Structure 1
Amino acid sequence: MLFAFLCTDKPGHLNLRMETRPTHLEHLNKLNEAGSLKFAGPFLDDDGKPNGSLVVVDAQDMAAARALAEADPYYLAGLFEKVEVKAWNWTINKPAE
């Protein structure tokens, strides 16, 4: 089942995001290698600077999805003001299985 992580950065925490980015990307690459990560990328503010994240993963259930979200180095560093984990259905432009 697919789950979307809608993550909002705390205001004024761009430096923390940039400092944590290498370990965050390493974490996402491991999820990708395991086949769990479907896609990911930052939300951008009006100046084009990252201010949140969208991550979509394949997980067994909500508990497993939340565990993945809470293992992200950005989450562990306290970057996020809010993280929503929602079940998601890929309907349009879904890659061939």
Structure 2
Amino acid sequence: MLFALQCTDKSGALQLRLDTRPDHVAYLNDLNAKGILKMAGPFLGDDGKPTGSLVIVKTETIDDARAIAEADPYAKAGLFSNVEIKAFNWVFNNPEA
């Protein structure tokens, strides 16, 4: 099952995001190598700077998706003000469809 992790950065946390990014990218690369990560990228503000993240993962349960979200270096660093996890149905342009 697919889950969307919708993560909102805390206000004024851009430097924390930049400082933590290498560990975050390594974490996502590991998820990708395991076939868990389906897509990911930042939300952007009007100024073009990141304001959050969208991460789509394939897991058995929402609890597994929650564990992935909690283990993300961004989450561990306290970057996010909010994380929503929702079941996701990838209908259009799904390479696995």
Q: TM-score under structure 1 normalisation?
A: 0.98
Q: In 2, Cα distance between the equivalents of 1:27 and 1:93?
A: 25
In the TM superposition, 1:9-48 aligns within 5 A as: 9-48=9-48
Structure 1 Cα separation of the partners of residues 24 and 96 of structure 2: 28
In 2, the alpha carbon distance for the partners of 1:76 and 1:56 equals 19
| 1:51 alignment partner in structure 2 | 51
Runs of 4+ in structure 1 deviating by more than 4 angstroms, as ranges, are none
Q: Helix, strand or coil for the counterpart of 1:17?
A: helix
How far does the alpha carbon of each residue in 1:19-55 deviate from its partner, in whole angstroms, 9 at most, with x for none? 0000000000000000000000000000000010000
CA RMSD of aligned residues (A): 0.7
TM-score for the superposition, normalised by structure 2:
0.98
Partners of 2:6 and 2:32 in 1: CA distance: 18
- Structure 1 letter corresponding to 2:3: F
Using the TM superposition, give the Cα deviation of residue 94 of structure 1 relative to its aligned residue in structure 2, in angstroms: 1.1
Given residue 47 of structure 2, which amino acid in structure 1 is its aligned partner?
Answer: D
Gaps of 5+ in 2: none
Which residue of structure 1 aligns with residue 74 of structure 2?
74
- How many residues end up aligned between the 2 structures? 97
Counterpart of 1:87, as a letter, is: A
Answering whether residue 83 of structure 2 is matched by residue 83 of structure 1, we say yes
**What's the offset of the Cα at 1:96?**
3.4
Percent identical residues:
61
- Aligned equivalents of 1:22 and 1:80: distance in 2? 17
